[in-house]
A and B are shown apart, each in its own frame.
Chain A
Amino acid sequence: MRTTFSPILASLANVFRIPLSQTVTRPAATAALGRFNGNSNSNSTTNAAAGSSSSTRQFSTTSAMLKRHRGPTIDRRITMIRYFLHHPLTPRPLRFSRTRFLRHWTIHRAWHLYRAQQRRAHQVELERQWHAMRAACEELRTGAGDGGKLFRKSMIKTGVFRDLFPIEYARLQTEGPPAEGWNHEWRRR
């Protein structure tokens, strides 16, 4: 059966945010019922109660939807990211002042410029060597006076890398000799 509250109880319920029973939450229906019964006293009571509870929820189904979904979904990846990002062992982000950042930027640009210059110098040196070798071969072909026989002999590549493999290729090729030279103390263990 429908339960009715005194106005004092209803106002107390409003103050303490206690949701009233299910019939009270539908003000239109209760009002219609009261009018139908002709019970003016209970009608006014329920109206007051309905007015008090309507501030929180009236026709909203949000709580029901939430209940169906059982709370907000938690993405474990985001939880992990947050955990590691705010962990005390994580170092703080690198922050520079204005001038310090500008100094940093200057050094950075200079370093990149230096590397680019080095690369270009290396490229130019390789090109020079290649052209010198080409000129030497041309000289051998035309200027040796043997009709280019020596040149043709030297260009024969049969058996290259077939019977024997050059010993230099046994280790990684480097630009120059090692800084400390030959290690005479090394012994096989």
Chain B
Amino acid sequence: MAHCERASKPLLQCLQKTYTKGLPGLQLQSTRAFQTTALAREEVQTEIKSQPFHKAPDPALVSSPRLERKLLRQGVSPIGSRRRRVALQDSLNIPFEQLPYQCFQEARKVLLADREEKLRDITSMREKISRLEALTTEQAGGEQVKKSKLRAMELHLEHLKIQADINDPLVKKKFEDGQGDMSKPIYRYLADRKWREYRRKILVQRITQMKVVPDVVPHCDPILDTKLYFARRQIQPGEFVDSKASFEAPKLDVQMFEGGEKLVTIAVVDPDVPNVEKDGFDFNMHYMAVNVPISAINTKVDLAQLSTESQVIFPWAPPVAQKGSPYHRLSLIIFEQRDSQPLDFAAIKAQETTRENLLARTLETRYKLKPIGAFLFRTQWDDSMYEVMKTIGYPDAEIELRRKRDEKLPYKRRNTARMRG
């Protein structure tokens, strides 16, 4: 190993020299490679480095324990491992797209040419769309024809926008680092693909297995990535939530994968309230808010912070489960309002007065809503449930539900004569 390093060192230095000569336009910011004396680099160094390294150590390059401690005392932690930092000290810091590998550079040329072509396609498609929009309905051949043509063209334009950027390694890298800009279609597309690979499958499985889909809403095809947090702890779909944690309203992280802004209605429905009289279960609306704006960038929704004058119909009611009752499915449904038009808050507030037996289906038909996102968590009797019930003044906190024991069938003597046949 050591021999190998010793032998390859001069070779590497030689290579480094040729790189710097071959790539004159590089903005090299390496701090340590003094042995390669290129004029351009020295100029850059004198401009950038006014202080010596031990005075102002770089957290990405510092390797000696003394300087690391100094940095830590200043409150800056070194980046990466010490091994990595030592390796970076000797590196030339060539930007990724200028790395001098022949095959890689040839591949980049191919990809860039393809991107140019895609951009030309995008401009031509935009021109086509504007030309079609300029035409009157008679010239375009009818209302329906014009509309379907425009729709197809816009879909193709979106496809082209994604295709123009999907082969870019830096886009891939940024997305994997979680630094993707969600206002751009390519990052939204990548995030959507990643969500559909695993997390959406889990969500759909939970809401169908626990029968939220036929019980609460007749059909739901989630297109929003929803995350739910109780007291800054993320809840997995279908998880049992401690009653103390669910006393306060949760926070939502609703990621939309389309451009533009949407107005949504958020409802939390409990379809499992036991009703002893009718020997069945009732519904209860634990939360409802209308006209909540969401977009691909604006994802955070705090249910406790929404305005009570214009959005919240029913404020958060902590979920309770009586002792002995089966677990309650608290299902959160996010409805899309038709054409993203705001609903009349005052009228809804006047009409919806009771939480009890307010069905999500009723809301859906009454206000022309469409479910586009769902989430589910469960509540059952636990140690802190009694306190929660006392705090909110739940009337039947002391009652424990028992399953009625089936009455025994009367004993009947077997008809052995018949068996003997």
Q: How far is the CB of A59 from chain B (nearest CB, A)?
A: 33
Which residues of B (54-107) have their CB < 8 Å from a CB of A? 96, 99, 101, 103-104, 106-107
Let me know if A113 and B169 touch, CB within 8 A: no
- Distance between Cα atoms of A47 and B108 in the complex (Å): 82
B167 at the interface (CB under 8 A from A): yes
User: Does B173 reach chain A (CB closer than 8 Å)?
Assistant: yes
Query: Smallest distance from the beta carbon of A106 to chain B beta carbons, Å?
Result: 5
The reply to whether A111 and B107 contact each other, CB–CB distance below 8 Å, is yes
Given contacts A99-B99, A103-B101, A109-B167, contact A114 B110 (CB under 8 A): yes
B146 proximal to A (CB < 8 A) = no
Name the distance in Å between A13's Cβ and chain B's nearest Cβ.
Answer: 45
- The residues of B that contact A105 with a CB separation of less than 8 Å are 169, 172
Report whether A102 and B110 are in contact in the complex, using a CB–CB cutoff of 8 Å. no
In the complex, A106→B101 CA distance in Å? Answer: 12
- Supply 14 A–B pairs (Cβ within 8 Å), ascending by A: A98-B173, A99-B99, A103-B104, A105-B169, A105-B172, A106-B167, A106-B169, A107-B103, A109-B111, A109-B167, A110-B107, A110-B108, A113-B111, A113-B114
The complex places the Cα of A103 from the Cα of B114 at a distance, in Å, of 17
Chain B residues in 8 Å Cβ range of A109? 107, 111, 167
Interface of B is mostly: helix
Instruction: Count residues of chain A with CB under 8 A from any CB of chain B.
Output: 13
In the docked arrangement, what's the CA distance between A117 and B114, Å?
10
Additional pairs, 16, CB under 8 Å, beyond known A107-B107, A110-B108:
A99-B99, A102-B172, A103-B99, A103-B101, A103-B169, A106-B104, A106-B108, A106-B167, A107-B104, A109-B111, A109-B167, A110-B110, A110-B167, A113-B110, A113-B111, A113-B114
Q: Provide the residues of chain A in CB contact with B169, threshold 8 Å.
A: 102-103, 105-106
A107-163 interface with B by 8 A CB criterion = 107, 109-111, 113-114, 117
Contacts of B110 in A (CB 8 A): 110, 113-114
Closest 3 CB pairs of A and B: A110-B107, A110-B110, A107-B107
Using Cβ atoms and an 8 Å threshold, which residues of chain B touch A110?
106-108, 110-111, 167
Contacts of A106 in B (CB 8 A): 104, 107-108, 111, 167, 169
> CB within 8 Å of B: which residues of A?
98-99, 102-103, 105-107, 109-111, 113-114, 117
Once A102-B173, A105-B172, A106-B104 are accepted as A-B contacts, the answer to whether A113 and B167 lie under 8 Å apart by CB is yes
| B104 to A: closest C-beta gap in Å | 5
For the complex, what is the distance from the CA of A160 to the CA of B108, rounded to whole Å?
51
Which chain B positions have C-beta within 8 A of A103?
99, 101, 104, 169
Report the nearest A residue to B106, measured CB to CB: A110
CB distance from B19 to the nearest CB of A (A): 15
Provide the main secondary structure of the chain A interface. helix
Counting contact residues on chain B (CB < 8 A from A), the size range is 10 to 19
Instruction: Please report the C-alpha to C-alpha distance between residue A103 and residue B169 in the assembled complex, in whole angstroms.
Output: 8
CA distance in complex: A109, B170 (Å): 13
Alpha-carbon gap, A181 to B106, bound state (A)? 31
Residues of A within 8 A of B99 (CB): 99, 103
User: Which chain A positions have C-beta within 8 A of B103?
Assistant: 107
Q: How far is the CA of A135 from the CA of B172 in the complex (A)?
A: 48
B109's closest neighbor in chain A, by CB?
A: A110
Cβ contacts under 8 Å, A99 to chain B: 96, 99
Bound complex: CA A107 to CA B109 (Å): 10
Measured CB to CB, the closest approach of chain A to B135, in angstroms, equals 30
- Residues of A within 8 Å of B167, CB to CB, are 106, 109-110, 113
Nearest CB to that of B97 among chain A residues?
A106
Smallest distance from the beta carbon of A115 to chain B beta carbons, Å?
A: 11
Identity of the chain A residue whose Cβ is nearest the Cβ of B167 in the assembled complex: A109
Contact partners of A111 in chain B: CB under 8 A:
107
In the complex formed, the residue of B with least CB distance to A112 is: B167
With the chains together, A107 CA to B107 CA distance in Å?
A: 5
Would you list which residues of chain B between 235 and 273 have a CB under 8 Å from chain A?
none
Chain B residues in 8 Å Cβ range of A113: 110-111, 114, 167
> Which chain A residues lie closer than 8 Å to B101 at the CB level?
103
**Which chain B residues border A114 with CB–CB below 8 Å?**
110
**What residues of chain B lie closer than 8 Å to A98, measured between beta carbons?**
173
Distance A105 CA – B114 CA, assembled complex (angstroms): 16
Instruction: Report the nearest B residue to A109, measured CB to CB.
Output: B167
Q: How far is the CA of A65 from the CA of B133 in the complex (A)?
A: 81
> A114–B103 Cα gap in the complex (Å)?
13
Q: Please give the distance in Å from B81's CB to the nearest CB on chain A.
A: 13
What residues on A are CB-neighbors of B114 within 8 Å? 113, 117
- In the assembled complex, the CB of B339 is this many whole angstroms from the nearest CB of chain A, namely 39
Contacts of A107 in B (CB 8 A): 103-104, 107
Cα(A120)–Cα(B114), bound, Å: 14
Closest residue on chain A to residue B110 by CB atoms: A110
| Nearest CB of chain A from residue B362's CB, rounded to whole Å | 51
B308 nearest CB across to chain A (Å): 49
User: Which single residue of chain B is at the shortest CB-CB distance from A102?
Assistant: B169
How far, in angstroms, from A161 to B172 measured CA to CA in the complex? 56
Known: A109-B167, A110-B167. A102 touches B96 (CB 8 A): yes
Give chain B nearest CB distance to A152 CB in angstroms.
Answer: 40
Distance, CA A117 to CA B173, complexed state (A)? 25
A132 nearest CB across to chain B (Å): 26
User: In the complex, what distance in Å separates the CA atom of A111 from the CA atom of B104?
Assistant: 11
**Contact residues, B143-188 vs A (CB, 8 A):** 167, 169, 172-173
Cα–Cα, bound, A110→B105 (Å): 10
With the chains together, A110 CA to B169 CA distance in Å? 11
Residue of chain A at shortest CB distance from B117: A117
Report A-chain residues with C-beta under 8 Å of the C-beta of B108. 106, 110
